[in-house]
Amino acid sequence: MTWSPTEADVDEILALHPQPLMALVHGETPAIVLRGAYEPVDCEALMKRFRERELLYDPRHNGDGRPRRVDIGTSFGSHRADREKFHAHSTQTHELFSTLFEGYVDPVKVVYEKLAALVPDKTVLTAREKDGRLYGPAIFRIYHEDLGHGPHYDSVRKRSKSFEYEVAHFDHQFAAVLCLQNSDDVGDSGEPTLYNCPWTPRLQQTLEGTTFADHAEAHAIERVQIHLEPGDLYFFFSENYHEVPAVCGDRPRAVLAIFFAMSPDRDEIYVWS
Ligand SMILES: O=C(O)CCC(=O)C(=O)O
Ligand SMILES: [Fe+2]
């Protein structure tokens, strides 16, 4: 059987995979793709709003002109080293997002609702510490030319080892990404590839002597590329290796992303960005 994404509506997905997140963990399917989760015209309208509010700009014409990703929201990875600043930044993001989408359907709400529909037996919450302090709810990420992600996996538990944070105390970690805008390029540019290959300590040892790309080639590891149109949303097990080839051309790739953690024996799913 080929390793192919599950593309359907939520009811059909639940009929195929009663526990969709565990199906991702077990590699039964590389991704769950919900086409048209958000209106493409609203994607365009939000991009316009981000530009008007100067939240979105071309980093090549700003500061030192070096290409870098434009984030609208709080990145846990960038802020976790300083807990006070991280939670303060997250609070600002909650405030910003409470008015940013006025006049349109709230895309963050849509992503949370779709996730909740896929896990009817669990409660989906923005991640929080025991004292109630919140993480960022979600993040918009705009990738201009030359920006993407090389092969990597994401796990606060296994990679970042941030055990001082609640989100490290779950068994499995995932990501969900809603496409707002694609680059112009018709090739690989900005189109994520997922590998049927979770990180393990053993793999880590193997990779000490080689690159992930060579390892994947040598072992003929299954891979799929996910093609998204504005409004499409995909979910994947972020402990599998994955990559996003660098954007080519002038039109940036823009997405709304969340990370989330789940344990089969916990009622709550914690979402952050
Ligand atoms: O944008 C995507 O499709 C995936 C992003 C990703 O892998 C990450 O942010 O760690
Ligand atoms: Fe990732």
49 lines ligand 1 (CB under 6 A): no
242 lines ligand 1 (CB under 6 A): yes
Q: Which stretches does DSSP call E strand in the chain?
A: 6-7, 31-34, 70-73, 123-126, 139-143, 149-152, 172-181, 193-198, 223-225, 233-237, 240-244, 253-262, 268-272
Q: Say what the pLDDT of residue 180 is.
A: 98
Q: How far is the CA of 244 from the centre of ligand 1 (A)?
A: 7
Homologous superfamily assigned to 6-272? q2cbj1_9rhob like domain (2.60.120.620)
Domain assignments of the chain as residue spans, ordered by start = 6-272
The mean per-residue pLDDT over the stretch 65-86 comes to 94
Provide the 8-state DSSP code for 13.
H
Strand duo 223-225 + 193-198: pairing: antiparallel
The pTM for the full model equals 0.96
- pLDDT tens digits, one per residue of 174-223: 999 999 999 987 778 888 999 999 999 999 999 999 999 999 999 999 99
138 pLDDT more than 80? yes
Nearest atom in ligand 1 to 255's CA: 1
79 lines ligand 1 (CB under 6 A): no
Q: Exposed, middle or buried: residue 91 (CB in 10 Å: 0-12, 13-18, 19+)?
A: middle
Angle at 74 between CA 273 and CA 173, to 5 degrees: 15
Q: What percent of the chain has pLDDT over 90?
A: 89
- Nearest by Cα to 118 from 42, 26, 8, 244: 8
> What amino acid occupies position 101?
F
Q: How far is the CA of 243 from the centre of ligand 2 (A)?
A: 7
- pLDDT tens digits, one per residue of 108-118: 999 999 999 99
**Helix intervals (H) in the chain:** 10-16, 20-25, 40-52, 76-79, 83-100, 107-118, 201-207, 212-218
From the CA of 148, the nearest ligand is: 1
- pLDDT tens digits, one per residue of 178-187: 999 999 877 7
What's the rounded Cα separation, in Å, for the pair 113 and 119? 10
Q: How far is the CA of 193 from the centre of ligand 1 (A)?
A: 10
118 close to 214: Cβ distance less than 8 angstroms: no
244 lines ligand 1 (CB under 6 A): yes
**Helix intervals (H) in 62-106:** 76-79, 83-100
**Residue 141 pLDDT class (50, 70, 90 cuts):** very high
Q: Say what the pLDDT of residue 63 is.
A: 80
185 lines ligand 1 (CB under 6 A): no
The mean per-residue pLDDT over the stretch 155-176 comes to 95
Q: Which residues pair with 179 in a beta bridge?
A: 255
User: Which residue among 32, 71, 78, 177 has the greatest number of ligand 1 atoms within 8 angstroms of its CB, and so is best to mutate?
Assistant: 177
**Residue owning tokens 């963990």:** 25
206 close to 235: Cβ distance less than 8 angstroms: no
Q: What percent of the chain has pLDDT over 70?
A: 100
- pLDDT tens digits, one per residue of 222-246: 999 999 999 999 999 999 999 999 9
